[in-house]
Amino acid sequence: MSRIEIQDENKEHEGNPQLKNFIRQKQRKLAYHRMMHNIKQADVIILNPIHYAVALRYEQNKMHAPILIAKGSGNIAIKIKKKAQKYFIPIIRIPKLAQTIYKYCRIGDYIPSELYESVAKVLTWVYNLKNWKKLAMFTRSILDFLIFPTILLFSTLLRLALNIASSRIILLKGQYGHSAAGKIIDAFGNFLVGGNFAVGIIIFSMLVIINFMVITKGSVRIAEVGARFILDGMPGKQMAIDADLNSGLIGEKEAKKRRFEISQESDFYGSMDGASKFVRGDAVAGILIMIINLIGGLLIGTIQHNMDVLSAGKTYTILTVGDGLVAQIPALIVSTAAGVIVTRVIFLSALIIGIFGFIPGMPNTIFLCFTCLLFFITWYLSKKIDISKKNVSNVSNTNLNKNSQIFHEATWNDVHQEDALGLEVGYKLITMVDNNKNNGILLKRIKGIRKQFARDMGFLPPVIHIRDNLEISPICYRILLSGVEIGSGEVYPEKFMAINPGLIKKELVGQICHEPAFGLQAIWINKELKEEASSFGYTVVDSSTVITTHFHAILMQYAGELFGRQEAQHLLDHIKKNTPKLVDGFIPEILSLAIFNKILKNLLSEQIPIKDMKSIIDCLSENFPEKNDIEILINLVRQKLGRFITQNWFPKNQYKNEIQVIGLDSELEKLLINTVHSGGALEPNIVSNLIKNVSDALKNQKNIGAPNVLLVNPMIRATLSRLLKIVLPKVVILSTTEIVDTRPIRFTSVIDCK
């Protein structure tokens, strides 16, 4: 074989290196995007000014230590800093702490105990900073000011009330001159119009265009788009919460809290969308009131008070324009409050109020006092934050210098325990665990699998942990037992699997495959062909059903490995609650927990349910310790469960009430019995022929719809089971003493060694 052929063979065996490199690049890109997305959840960013950046998150009542959720160096560190500034996350520069966390911590890990003191100083600064922000009316979340839409409504009503009151004064007392409607209205009118009513009309038209066409439409559009994008993003947030809950990152209480916050956000933005209509209506009302004041003033001045047109126009134009400007003061106050609450710009608010304080005729003293107060608050907060940040940096660096020789010793916190039972999915299958999607019923079905398994087998399996895995194919899923893969498959979320029972010859357009649980021929089809496939006789299921069916079959196959000492003790505790007399004096007086566990594990590994615990405990109590061999005890328990085993594998009213099984040739059975008695071994060719013939017989059982049961002499059942289960895990081997005498037996196949 040439060198090129050897290389090609290695590529086929190990995978194309170019394809593997492309997959790794994709995985790194997805991991990077996920990390950058999680930055908004951080409590603080610690920087080494330009080289390193780490993001920490800590929930006091949920986590025993802070978690590293993002880290980066170089350009990534700069991007982390910009992302943090976008979400107003506190940033502090502590070079040594940033370098240490970056070097020794992985994303998703808890901060090592050696860094607790330094990180605690940082978090203390963060919490103090949050408290100062609350005192200064800072808000990091819209949930801190949910009542804002209601305040906006009441401020609109009060503003309209002021408009009506000022209009009444203008129309009743406008003939007495500019000062009759109040000094503030007169000051605004003269300042803007300059005593020329023609200029007033032009300015009035400009205000109409600016207020209605630009400001009002813009504010309404912002509210609508904000509400739409927030509401559209809610399913993704719900999916993220469910994923974190299933992966064990958060608890049930934290998940409920986050769902409640999302509901509050939805209500808030819905209210803001409606409140924007009040703003639009307020603008329209203000324009109409100004027009009424202008026209009404001209008519009242010329008709009732005998004023000439020019004099009336000048007087009422100045008053009307002044009134329109005065009416903006309540809006200015609301905007200033919104600026402080929502955008956190106290300095800009102080500057705007200061400008209004210099307008002639305004209450200058009041405006300038508010300006000075806001400037003082801005200066005070910035000074406090800088001093606190400097102190935290000094203390943290001092602590790190004292503990420079860290990370030399491992602790038990570094030991990771694998989940007993897990399901990993590719990134394209993540939507299948979203309860807000139509195909997001996978979580409910997984829970249903545990309940069904508990009813069928007699004990509760471990909790199934579901998480995504970027290292596998996007459409792949893996079933894990103690971290080891015991099953896998590929599904297409948007397609359906049409399963051929074996007799259908009509073909469908799609991707040919095999059903993973039972190995039947199948084909992935589009949604449009679903009804057509059903009419042909295909069994059509969605992708979540494929996964759950496969998962259930795997659970049944590995039931013995799922049962351990802990499950045995839980089972005894459960029985003791309902029937305490049954287990009193049984464990450990009669039988040890280890032997009891081993017997039950053996039954489950042979796919025999342990639901009839009364019969099992009675049988063991009657025969132990006189018969202390575990194999003998297992056979006695199996005989005791004979009726249940028969009913479980051969339900009545099926196959004409016959028990259709595979049998052994008499010569082969004698050979196996002699081998067991002598303690010898079978010849390799006999074992090979036996496995081949049993495999062919199992195919025949599948074709006729009978269970994969091989009926043998009780003396060789255990030995034959250990021999065949290695190669044929789905075969069930029963002894003749485990079948009731009242049912006829028919051998569909007879196995020989030829």
Rounded Cα gap, residues 474 and 23, in angstroms: 10
pLDDT tens, residue by residue, 266-294: 777 677 666 666 666 776 777 777 778 77
333-354 per-position pLDDT tens digit: 555 554 454 444 455 555 665 6
Which residue's entry shows tokens 């249903």? Answer: 448
- How does DSSP classify residue 166? H
User: Which of these, 494, 490, 504, lies nearest to 525 by C-alpha position?
Assistant: 494
Per-range mean pLDDT, top range of 146-155, 436-445, 451-460: 451-460
Q: What pLDDT does 402 receive?
A: 46
- CA-wise closest residue to 361 among 174, 197, 191, 166: 191
Could you tell me the pTM of the whole model?
Answer: 0.49
Given a contact cutoff of 8 angstroms between Cβ atoms, the answer to whether 321 and 170 are in contact is no
Cis peptide before 112 (omega within 30 of 0): no
Most confident of 88-92, 215-219, 489-493, 648-652: 489-493
Distance between CA 578 and CA 72 in Å, rounded? 57
Give φ, ψ of 710 to 5 degrees.
-110, 120
Give the mean pLDDT of 78-89.
85
Query: Reduced to 3 states, what is the DSSP secondary structure of residue 91?
Result: strand
DSSP-derived secondary structure letter, 412: G
Residue with tokens 């196996």: 672
DSSP assignment of 414-442 equals: G--PPPSEEEEE-GGGGGGG-TTSTT--H
Higher-confidence residue: 159 or 178? 159
% the chain with pLDDT above 70: 69
SS3 147: coil
pLDDT tens digits along 694-726: 899 988 888 888 888 999 988 888 888 888 888
- pLDDT greater at residue 555 or residue 403: 555
pLDDT, one tens digit per residue, over 454-489 is 988 989 888 888 888 877 888 899 999 988 899 999
Task: Return the minimum-mean-pLDDT range out of 131-140, 144-153, 509-518, 519-528.
Answer: 131-140
First vs last C-alpha separation in the chain: 38
Q: Are 111 and 413 in contact (CB under 8 A)?
A: no
pLDDT band at 138 (very low <50, low <70, confident <90, very high): very low
Say how far apart CA 737 and CA 629 lie, in whole Å.
Answer: 19
User: Is pLDDT of 362 > 70?
Assistant: no
* C-alpha torsion angle, residues 367, 371, 372, 374 (rounded to 10): 140
Q: How far is CA 35 from CA 70, 131, 247, 358, 656, in A?
A: 6, 28, 17, 50, 62
Whole-number CA gyration radius for the chain: 40
How far, in Å, are 15, 69, 106, 496 from residue 426 at the CA level? Answer: 19, 21, 22, 18
Measure the CA–CA gap between 213 and 664, rounded to whole angstroms.
92
661: β partners: 747
Instruction: Check residues 258 and 276 and name the one with the higher pLDDT.
Output: 258
- Among 5-19, 206-220, 354-368, 731-745, the least confident range: 5-19
Residue type at 324 in one-letter notation:
G
Q: What is the pLDDT of residues 321-330, one digit of tens each?
A: 777 766 665 6
Region 389-404: what's the mean pLDDT? 48
pLDDT at 477: 92
Least confident of 9-13, 94-98, 174-178: 9-13
Give the closest residue to 728 by CA, choosing from 745, 741, 709: 709
The predicted structure's pLDDT at residue 380: 62
ω before 516 within 30° of 0 (cis)?
no
Burial of 667 from C-beta contacts in 10 A (0-12 / 13-18 / 19+): exposed
To the nearest whole percent, how much of the chain has pLDDT over 90? 6
3-state SS assignment for residue 734: strand
Q: Work out the pLDDT band at 238, boundaries 50, 70, 90.
A: confident
Lowest mean pLDDT among 20-34, 182-196, 598-612, 631-645: 182-196
Looking up tokens 């602790």, which residue turns up? 411
Q: Which residue has the higher pLDDT, 86 or 208?
A: 86
Cα dist. 575→583, 598, 642 in Å? Answer: 7, 18, 22
Q: For residues 750 and 690, is the Cβ–Cβ distance under 8 A?
A: no
Query: Who's near 700: CB < 8 A, 6+ residues apart?
Result: 748, 749
- Per-residue HEC secondary structure of 265-330 comes to HHHHHHHHHHHHHHHHHHHHHHHHHHHHHHHHHHHHHHHHCCCCHHHHHHHHHHHHHHHHHHCHHH
Mean of the per-residue pLDDT values for the chain? 77
The alpha carbon dihedral of 530, 531, 532, 538 has a sign of: positive
Measured between alpha carbons, how far is 636 from 648 in angstroms, rounded to an integer?
18
Cβ atoms of 662 and 751 within 8 Å: the answer is yes
CA distance 573 to 566: 11
Q: What is the pLDDT of residue 404?
A: 45
| Tally: H helices and E strands in the chain | 28, 16
pLDDT of residue 669: 87
Q: SS3 string of 621-660?
A: HHHCCCCCCHHHHHHHHHHHCHHHHHHHHCCCCCHHHCEE
pLDDT at 523: 92
Amino acid letter, residue 122: V
If one counts every other C-beta atom within 10 angstroms of the C-beta of residue 699, the result is 10
| Residue 612: per-residue pLDDT | 87
What is the separation of C-alpha 128 from the centre of its chain, rounded to a whole number of angstroms?
31
Element (H, E) at 542: strand 539-542
Evaluate the CA torsion angle 118, 121, 127, 130 in order and state its sign.
negative
Per-residue pLDDT, averaged over 556-570, amounts to: 89
The DSSP result for 553-617, as a single string, is HHHHHTHHHH--HHHHHHHHHHHHHH-HHHHTTTTTTTS-HHHHHHHHHHHHHTT-----HHHHH
Report which secondary-structure segment, H or E, holds 214. Answer: none
pLDDT tens column, 364-383: 666 677 677 766 766 665 55
Segment among 15-24, 50-59, 265-274, 652-661 with least mean pLDDT? 15-24
Which of 173 and 219 is assigned the larger pLDDT?
A: 173
What is the pLDDT averaged over residues 149-171? 78
Instruction: Look at 421 and 263; give whichever has higher pLDDT.
Output: 421
Tokens of 683: 């010849």
Phi-psi region of 194 (alpha: psi -120 to 50; beta: other; left: phi over 0): left
DSSP 186: H
Model confidence band, residue 54 (pLDDT cutoffs 50, 70, 90): very high
Residue 101 Cα to chain centre, angstroms: 27
Name the token pair of 211: 């207020």
- pLDDT of 438 above 70: no
Count the Cβ atoms, other than its own, within 10 Å of residue 428: 16
DSSP secondary structure string for all residues of 212-251? IIIIIHHHHHHHHHHHHHHHHTHHHHHHHHHHHHHHTSS-
Nearest to 548 by CA among 452, 468, 463, 449: 449
Q: Which of 162, 163, 182, 56 is nearest to 107 (CA)?
A: 56
